[in-house]
Amino acid sequence: MGCGATKSNELQLKKYQRGSIGVPAMRAALLIQRWYRQYVARLEMRRRCTWHIFQSIEYAGEQDQIKLYNFFGYLMDHFTPANSERNLISHIFRENEICRDIEWERYFCYKNIEVPELYSGPHLSFPLTVSNVADLVEAFKNKQQLHTRYVLQLLLESWKLLRMLPNINQVSTCQTKEITICGDLHGHLEDLLLVFYKNGMPSVEKSYVFNGDFVDRGKDSIEILLILFAFMLLYPNNVHLNRGNHEDYIVNLRYGFTKEVLGKYRLHGKKILKLLQKIFSWLPLATVIDQKVLILHGGISDTTDLNIIAQADRHKYVSTLRPPKRRWVASGGNSTAGRHKVNGRMDNSLQRHCSLAYNSPLRSRYNFQSRSMQNFSSKVNLAVEEELKEQRRMAGLSQSYHDLRSSLSSDSDSDNYETYEDDSNEWKQIVDMLWSDPMPQDGCIPNEVRGGGCYWGPDVTEKVLRRHNLQLLIRSHECKQEGYEFCHNRKVLTIFSASNYYEVGSNRGAYIRLGPDLVPHFIQYQANRSTRELTLRQSVGETERSALRALREQLFAHKSDLLYAFQDYDTDNTGWISLKHWATAVEAVLRLGLPWRVLRSQLVTTTQDGMLDYQGWLRELPITEPKTELVQQSLLETMYKQRSNLETIFRIIDSDHSGLISFEEFRQTWKLLSSHLKMEISDEAILDMAVSIDFNKDGSIDINEFMEAFRLVDRTMNLPSEPNHTKTDE
């Protein structure tokens, strides 16, 4: 009870003085204020922790994605022509088959698609009119869907426009007075509509820059994309789009956009996705305002050079996670006249490429990337080349001036050398632009949290801004509680436009208005009106519940490892450990960098004298629904941990986007993954699992059903937890 006793005595003494308020009231008020302020502080702490939980789990997921790529690298190292897994893997590395522009136009073929009478959605005519676009926005507001025919048409027109744009948009305020800049939207249509409502829609008088990450995570990614493209077509001088790291089909496979499109457009979804692959690669990489303010999605590195970027063939980088295609390989399979590279020359180049790969100066800095990405790409191209020979090569894609020039030059050998260097350097520049994050310390180090790009410090900001005579860098890429945040002496500004990003109430969104004085003005908002009416306690509670649920899932996924860690501390085998050891063990296993001692009371509810029955606690963590009568529990746990990776791999394998993969494909995938994880698993065990997951009993596995099999029931909350990925609109 502590020293509270003194205070209550004092209050009691004064009771007879009830008539005069004076001192007792003051004391009482003081007490209440002290108590209430403490309460609010506790809530604030919980809110911050919740935030940290979401962020660390998000970044761990992104890192996972890159680890997946290392896994592919591992696959390639074990790749031999005789290997039966070859087909599987070649899927993964097969590029777009359609390459020439004419063929793309034919592929876009929307003309055969009839719009039925019954269709009640918006009709578009091209060139687009203001009322077309207004109708479109209105329709999406009313949850209508745009017909495939119009989608394809819109995409075709967008592609035609994007191809003509430079890598770096140059914008001036003298024409347009004020410019509005939006950050990540991530499929949050309500936020885009809110911005339009508050700020007005794009027009000749109202310029906008949208700074990437339009898609993934939220449920209306395709609608946002269509609206942005429509405005871009309508006002090409006033609406500017920058590419984000999520404008990338490989990232989309994991983070929900692919799923969304396939769900909303069952018949033509895959065609739309294929087109978007290409369109994304044509999105400009940055925008500069008045030659003073640089806007790009991720950030910079100490080698960032806008001149190099300006000259790059940006469309070569269909996915920024993968290295650029080797031109020399392309020529091997292509028999067009004018290209006179011979096998001999090719071999020389190959040798040179191999040695470059190992001695590359980039290697030490980007071990994470270069190990798997650069090394295997040359190997795979060689090994897979025979098989893919009959298919059109990606050379067609890079029919740029640069290519023609190099293919016609006589001294192509040195060109190849330069090409490789240029390619790598270019690639690095682009990855840095789309993936990097600022850090408070000086320097520039690889961004190992995300697995791509780097962390750059204030000295790098100084250097790069000065190099190009700029005064401000505006970027997005990171969620901020207030929707925006300055750093590096206010030279770097992060803007994030998806409110309630992690959960309802987690953060506000914001946008910037920039006038000729180039001083940013911020407008913040939060979609979902009801959150504003919630009290602090209620909104903290909601978000917190969600974060804790996500955290419990993480704990569940690492159950076995946690058990080992706990047992390490329990040397006498009593079944109990101290809470101190609990915290240390959990951090060692999960490595999320979270304040476990602060969170402890939320995660561990039954303790005795500061000790925890850890086995009981582990048992109480979420369980999977009874639906999954999977054969081995330990297998289940590993699968659960790897489920995002598995889903991504499955979607890659499912190249015709049918949503189904065969038993054999499942078996191969799981076998490869488990050998990578150094797990022993027999073929029968895998087959048993496949059979048990085949809910339809038709010999194939429905990817969505597979993911559903891991739906968790959160025992502590008595509520089933939501699956991690967005649900598609039915």
Q: How far is CA 651 from each of CA 251, 388, 584, 709, rounded to the nearest angstrom?
A: 11, 21, 37, 16
Burial track 449-480 (b if 16+ CB lie within 10 A, e otherwise) = bbbbbbbbbbebbebbbeeeebebbbbbbbbb
CB 279 within 8 A of CB 243: no
Burial track 261-294 (b if 16+ CB lie within 10 A, e otherwise) = bbbbbeebbbbbbbbbbbbbbbbbbbbbbbeebb
DSSP secondary structure, 400-456, as one string: SHHHHHHHH-S-HHHHHHHHHHHHHHHHHHHHHHHH-EE-SSSSEEE-TTTTSSEEE
Q: Which residues bind another protein (CB under 8 A)?
A: 1-4, 7-8, 11-12, 14-15, 18, 21, 24-42, 44-45, 48-49, 52, 439-440, 487, 535-537, 578, 580, 583, 595-598, 601-602, 609-611
- Token pair of 696, please? 């339809």
Q: Provide the strand spans (E) within 593-721.
A: 611-613, 623-624, 660-662, 700-702, 712-714, 719-720
| Longest CA pairwise span in the chain (Å) | 107
Distance between CA atoms of residues 308 and 425, nearest Å: 9
Q: Minimum distance between the CB of residue 2 and another protein, rounded to whole angstroms?
A: 3
Q: What is the DSSP letter of 578?
A: E
Reduced to 3 states (helix: H, G, I; strand: E, B; else coil), residue 288 is: strand
Q: How far is CA 557 from each of CA 355, 637, 638, 649, 668, rounded to the nearest angstrom?
A: 41, 6, 7, 19, 23
Given 147, 188, 246, 558, which residue is catalytic? 246
CB 690 within 8 A of CB 671: no
H-helix or E-strand spanning residue 685:
helix 683-693
- Token pair of 44, please? 């604030």
Q: What is the DSSP letter of 608?
A: B
Inter-axis angle of helices 559-569 and 633-641, nearest 10: 110
CB 201 within 8 A of CB 126: no
DSSP secondary structure, 265-283, as one string: -TTTHHHHHHHHHHHHHHS
| Long-range contacts of the stretch 124-133 (C-beta < 8 A, 24+) | 124/150, 124/153, 124/154, 124/230, 126/153, 126/157, 127/157, 127/233, 128/157, 128/230, 128/233, 128/234, 129/234, 130/234, 132/230, 133/227, 133/230, 133/231, 133/234
246 is catalytic: yes
- Token pair of 167, please? 């890598």
**Nearer residue to another protein within complex by CB, 13 or 404:** 13
Distance between CA atoms of residues 136 and 346, nearest Å: 51
Residues facing residue 511 across a β-bridge: 182, 523
The amino acid occupying position 370 is S
Q: Which residues contact 695 (CB under 8 A, 6 or more apart)?
A: 702, 705
Distance between CA atoms of residues 171 and 514, nearest Å: 12
**Nearer residue to another protein within complex by CB, 147 or 480:** 480
Q: Minimum distance between the CB of residue 596 and another protein, rounded to whole angstroms?
A: 7
Q: With helix as H, strand as E and coil as C, how does 475-505 read?
A: ECCCCCCCCEEEECCCCEEEEECCCCCCCCC
Q: Environment class of residue 414 by beta-carbon count within 10 Å: exposed (0-12), middle (13-18) or buried (19+)? A: exposed
Distance between CA atoms of residues 595 and 45, nearest Å: 11
- For tokens 């003298």, the residue is 174
Q: Which residues are part of the catalytic machinery?
A: 246
